[in-house]
Amino acid sequence: MAQGSSLSRPSGGHTAARSTNSKADKLRSLAGQLLTFGFDGTTLTPELRSTMRDLQPGGVILFARNIDSARQTHSLLKATQKLSERPLFRCVDLEGGTVDRLRDVLGPAPSVQDVVGSGLAAASREHGRLLGAESAALGFNVDFAPVLDLRLRPSLAVLGSRTVSADPVATARYARALLLGLRDEGIVGCGKHFPGLGEAALDTHKELPSISKRWKELWAQDLAPYRLLARQLPFVMVAHCAYPEVTGNAVPASLSRKWMETILRKKIGYRGLVISDDLEMGGVMNGSTVEEAAIGTILAGADCYLVCHNSELVHRAAEAVVAEAERSKVFRTRVEVAARRVLLAKRRWKPLQRPFPAAPTENTLNRLRQWLWVFAEELRLATLAR
């Protein structure tokens, strides 16, 4: 290898190629941090290995389809983390009740309504500790909970026992305690679904709801939990729901700069990470492609986005974000700003800095199962006594 002449007087073409590749690699690495994705299967398949290496995502999310047992889940998460150059957001939806990805391996966790209905003062933080301990034992570090949507009549058929109360102060009180409980166990929480689905009669997994509620009412009611918890929420998840009285159009909040930048960031003063709900949901996909949605949510102010199921759509979204950042200086700046926020959070949040936990022992799993049963019984008896 003739290093002398080539290093002292490199050819213009060689230098340009190295510079271009370096910039392209850096951009792809930054864009990857914005993506958290889901996948099929319960093991590290060659396809998953390739996706992790190629995209270097900010996070992964597991669902019931990925979870056969506690140790298998721990092994799968550990394998994905080993393929990542940076700490991963290892995410799960674990609220208890109807949204409980771990019920088949550890047992059912009480719902939000089970907890608040008991009237026990310490139950909300205990709920957070229990959900956090379950999550941490299996290798997760992020739980997309609590739900901050108000318990209003239009959404009862959709949200059921997932919501706390029609009272925003009571909702914030439960959420604050739950977040503390999660943090006690080394788990990062997330408030959802901003700006609020309490008045939504449609399921955003299938359709785009439109809530015709005036700004003053939204500010006093649905947005109150976010205002009260602005300093406590590590993540805020933005909903696929339109609010035409506020924006003057049918664009979902997940694609709305007014909602994410003007209201959440500037008016409320939120400084944590903003993540869009799953871009495969009908609430956004019925009106745009996954490429348009991924670009649109970042351009509107999201720091991260979810693509939770289809492998092809994961790659299409990721590649679209990179291609648009290469084409547009404005969008590249947005990607860089969002990636800096993500990387700063990963450096600052203690759960993201912890070494990957050891595999759970049978004693640990049995203690968790007993805790679930005892807590559920305490709630049941307290509710009956009221």
pTM across the whole model: 0.93
| pLDDT in the model for residue 10 | 31
Cβ within 8 Å of residue 292, ≥6 positions away: 320
- Tens-digit pLDDT profile for residues 51-109: 999 999 999 999 999 999 999 999 999 999 999 999 999 999 999 999 999 999 999 99
Torsion over CA: 28, 345, 109, 358 (sign): positive
| pLDDT tens, residue order, the chain (386 aa) | 333 322 232 333 333 333 346 888 999 999 999 999 999 999 999 999 999 999 999 999 999 999 999 999 999 999 999 999 999 999 999 999 999 999 999 999 999 999 999 999 999 999 999 999 999 999 999 999 999 999 999 999 999 999 999 999 999 999 999 999 999 999 999 999 999 999 999 889 999 999 999 999 999 999 999 999 999 999 999 999 999 999 999 999 999 999 999 999 999 999 999 999 999 999 898 899 999 999 999 999 999 999 999 999 999 999 999 999 999 999 999 999 999 999 999 999 999 999 999 999 999 999 999 999 999 999 999 999 99
Cβ atoms of 303 and 338 within 8 Å: the answer is yes
> Left, alpha or beta for 120 (phi > 0: left; psi -120 to 50: alpha)?
beta
Residue corresponding to tokens 């019931």: 64
Q: Is 193 a catalytic residue?
A: no
Q: Is 205 a catalytic residue?
A: yes
Distance CA 247, CA 268 (A): 17
The number of beta carbons lying within 10 Å of the beta carbon of residue 381 is 11
CATH topology of domain 27-385: TIM Barrel (3.20.20)
Q: Which of 82, 27, 29 is nearest to 57 (CA)?
A: 29
The one catalytic residue among 25, 40, 104, 205: 205
| pLDDT in the model for residue 21 | 64
Distance CA 174, CA 112 (A): 9
* pLDDT, the chain, mean: 93
Residues in the chain: 386
Distance CA 139, CA 118 (A): 30
List C-alpha distances in Å: 80 to 41, 175, 288, 306, 319: 13, 30, 30, 17, 20
For the chain, which residues make up each domain, given as ranges?
27-385
The one catalytic residue among 114, 149, 277, 278: 277
> 3-state DSSP call for residue 260?
helix
| pLDDT in the model for residue 273 | 98
| pLDDT in the model for residue 7 | 28
Q: Which tokens belong to 5?
A: 């002449």
Cβ within 8 Å of residue 30, ≥6 positions away: 335, 336, 339
